[in-house]
Structure 1
């Protein structure tokens, strides 16, 4: 499959090498030794802004998640291999400082205590880093941004007694949040990327926003007991916390005793009341713990649907309707179609299952009866953004994860390039099932401690150093 477009500075390095060849290459240096030296120097100097690098280690910001995922992934999904993970590193240009901190220009009119959640804002800024935010939006960036906003309002309610902001303050605060995140390196278009509006900080159509009123309607002790600690592995299937949130949101939505006149209005009200419930929860636990809870809850919704936009499948259906006549034409058409999907975003392994099912059903409706996923060797990786020249798709973990920042190497996030699971062709007699009932065996989620990060990075540099030393040894001998 063709890889996603990633800039390359290979030509620049090659030109520089040619320019310095006469002055730097001694007369007794053999072409083979020069090749070794040049290769090593090229590896060490290549730091293109959007180049992608890999290292066989895993880092989870949430240490609790790491411990839980050492032995289990998701219920009903058993491991069948022990893949080596890869962490794509978006390295900075050597001419431009990677640290992008600046002084934010704040309105001075936001009533939220934005400095009280500095660590949370830093996590969000990295998750929504300028260059990667559009590609991590669905899985990492936007869930983290929404959690941050709810936690900010929830923490503020401890002082104000209100679980929502009015329209004026909501506008100022959202602008200030964006400004702070942008000053720390986040994308300045997050409102557009994540569809966040000032109304996301207000009560919207929910009739309850006062903390005392909320607690008089909802069994707050039961709600807190159900959601204070959320099981990252089992919550999506057991829905212990989600059911408690739904029950609380339903109770406060019915405070006035009436129901919205339309289904869309009812859905909108429930969403707004659900946010009020999440803010109340965020006010009862510390910000980082609240962030963990909210991310784990939202993760269930993230993995439920395929976020990709499917182009028209007409050409594929025409070429693959009778694959026995022209195998090559069918697979070429399929390869070209999938290449469009690979330019959209990074997705999780469970999302990839949903995407494969959706595409398979679309093709079946157009009278494609052959399993062309198997026929053309389409795997789950082929539905996600491709990284590097190795043409390997990056599937993110199905459990909540974050991007990480290192001043020397850049932004990194965990993915797996060895997840060679064939895309399942949907059975015409079966309705697509939820992730709790999926029978496809997924690889075990790679797990490692943060202490392994440095060792992996040193391994890569050590290999390059050995090549350089070998070249110099041969030269002097």
Structure 2
């Protein structure tokens, strides 16, 4: 939205703006002038995140970037270090071989970095954590011959995984925010978990050929890999159809079998690519009570300013929740509009109050800009130079779509001042470099510290 934020929100942004000015002035007087429009915001660290398994473990290096003109939120400065917090206290009762997937665990720790994990949970952290657990079990099957962890060991394994991640800086309540418990590692209801039985049941070549390399964009449209996984799961579940959720449980086993056939890094890309299709279809936001919006905007709007103020206040509640992707924002706009229509808000208040898709996501920086994430899977990155970094589109001004009618909320029309709805965000991957309207963000971490 283009309207003024509520007084509380303006106060928080003022504090952050003053912090921004202070840090930039400090940097100016310490290091001399720099063109901040040509530099990246960074968090400098003297410690490299790594597992305490092999002393030779190296940090995760970010992919090469096609560095284009970007606008940082803060000039480079020595801010918050990313450090190990100690040696993990492993149970000694988990059969998983963690040393086989050290780099995957390190990636997960950075994706689930402490202050940011609750805001990145839906988009980055939890999908990567789920992939990591499946890959760990898949790798252990190379020696165990089994694609599950038994009930006795499951709780120890989940605890050990959490310990390894926390000692690299991850959020200390990951199982809670990602809704993962020991049963996610156990046999569940699928009748086949032994590798010999699975090999005799699966159409090995179909699953491998369909999933060994996937294009996330094409996969979400054609569902080649997902269909192969589902077909295999149905065959495996045929011996136990009487149990609820048996097909879903067998899909989990097929995914682990597939991860066993691939290198861990390749398996992570495939699993994240398949899961991103599901993630982008659902709005992750919880919509609070909208009675005040209904009161001020319902039926005939008597005072447009009062209506938009009420809607503005409502959006500040949504913007406290999490980062979302462009495609999720479309789903959220649909869901909210349908709920507003049911609450007797019949006019297109998105158009009247100039609501944009970016208004549904967490707001970043003093510009009050919504941070929409790429719909394709990506990772937060860390190195000694750029610190903890992720990027999002702060300048995508696509108008939020309003349903044509309450009887058909799935059909949308764009307001006259909007551009075409994005099939994908403008910056789709690290490999394709940064676009002019993309911010390279690391300083949201400071926002978590100071407000």
Compute the TM-score of the two structures, normalised by the length of structure 1.
0.75
User: Which whole-Å CA distance do the structure 2 matches of 1:113 and 1:335 have between them?
Assistant: 50
User: Which whole-Å CA distance do the structure 1 matches of 2:354 and 2:196 have between them?
Assistant: 59
Of 284, 288, 301 in structure 1, the residue corresponding to residue 278 of structure 2 is 301
Displacement of 1:87 after TM fit?
Answer: 7.5
User: Which whole-Å CA distance do the structure 2 matches of 1:406 and 1:421 have between them?
Assistant: 33
- For the pair 1:317 / 2:294, whether they are aligned, the reply is yes
* Partner secondary structure for residue 233 of structure 1: helix
The 3 A distance-change label for structure 1 pair 391 and 213 is same
The 3 A distance-change label for structure 1 pair 43 and 328 is farther
Aligned counterpart, 1:354: 331
CA deviations 1:11-67 (Å, max 9, x no partner) are 6899x99xxxxxxxxxxxxxxxxxx9778349999xxxxxxx99499xx98969x99
Aligned counterpart, 1:102: 86
Q: For structure 1, which runs of at least 5 residues remain unmatched after alignment?
A: 18-35, 46-52, 68-82, 461-477
Aligned counterpart, 1:213: 197
User: Which whole-Å CA distance do the structure 2 matches of 1:12 and 1:422 have between them?
Assistant: 31
* Partner secondary structure for residue 411 of structure 1: strand
- For the pair 1:242 / 2:191, whether they are aligned, the reply is no
Indicate conservation of the 8 Å contact 1:87/1:415, yes or no: no
Displacement of 1:289 after TM fit?
Answer: 0.1
Indicate conservation of the 8 Å contact 1:89/1:410, yes or no: no
Aligned counterpart, 1:343: 320
Indicate conservation of the 8 Å contact 1:55/1:87, yes or no: yes
Structure with the greater relative contact order (CA < 8 A, sep ≥ 6): 1 or 2? 1
User: Which whole-Å CA distance do the structure 2 matches of 1:198 and 1:325 have between them?
Assistant: 55
Compute the TM-score of the two structures, normalised by the length of structure 2.
0.79
- For the pair 1:40 / 2:31, whether they are aligned, the reply is no
Aligned counterpart, 2:361: 384
The 3 A distance-change label for structure 1 pair 301 and 9 is closer
Aligned counterpart, 1:20: none
- For the pair 1:142 / 2:126, whether they are aligned, the reply is yes
CA deviations 1:132-157 (Å, max 9, x no partner) are 00000001000000000000001111
* Partner secondary structure for residue 413 of structure 1: strand
Of 336, 350, 354 in structure 2, the residue corresponding to residue 373 of structure 1 is 350
The 3 A distance-change label for structure 1 pair 401 and 89 is farther
CA deviations 1:198-226 (Å, max 9, x no partner) are 11111211111101111111111211111
Aligned counterpart, 2:377: 400
- Map 1:124-203 → 2, pairs under 5 A: 124-203=108-187
Indicate conservation of the 8 Å contact 1:105/1:179, yes or no: yes
User: Which whole-Å CA distance do the structure 2 matches of 1:402 and 1:89 have between them?
Assistant: 21
The 3 A distance-change label for structure 1 pair 449 and 235 is closer
Of 389, 414, 430 in structure 1, the residue corresponding to residue 408 of structure 2 is 430
* Partner secondary structure for residue 325 of structure 1: coil
The number of aligned residues is 400
